[in-house]
Amino acid sequence: MNDILKAKLNQIADDELLGQALQTVFNEANKEPEVTDNNMVLGEKYRAYLEAKKIIDKAFIKINSYKVGTKTDKKDNRGV
């Protein structure tokens, strides 16, 4: 992965609200299967749904790994 893509992933990881928005969009696109008369088909769809959910979760764990440490403006003032 090139540095430009890593920098963009870092921006997503650092912007918690953006990350939540993206994860919500992906989770909404991966809808639970509707109940059907055929249990075998329903089982296949539900397993696919769960696998997609795992993939989405792993992707966001990977994105969050690009987060740079927390930045603090506080400094110890040992002279006070």
pLDDT tens digits for the chain (80 residues)?
899 999 999 999 999 999 999 999 999 999 999 888 899 999 999 999 999 999 999 999 999 999 886 555 556 666 65
Sign of CA dihedral 48, 51, 57, 58: negative
Name residue 10's amino acid: N
Decide: 23 and 57 in contact? Cβ < 8 Å: no
Helix (DSSP H) and strand (DSSP E) numbers for the chain: 3, 0
User: Could you give the CA distance from residue 40 to residue 48 in angstroms, rounded to a whole number?
Assistant: 12
Name residue 14's amino acid: D
Residue 29 is encoded by which pair of tokens? 């696109």
**The whole model's pTM is what?**
0.74
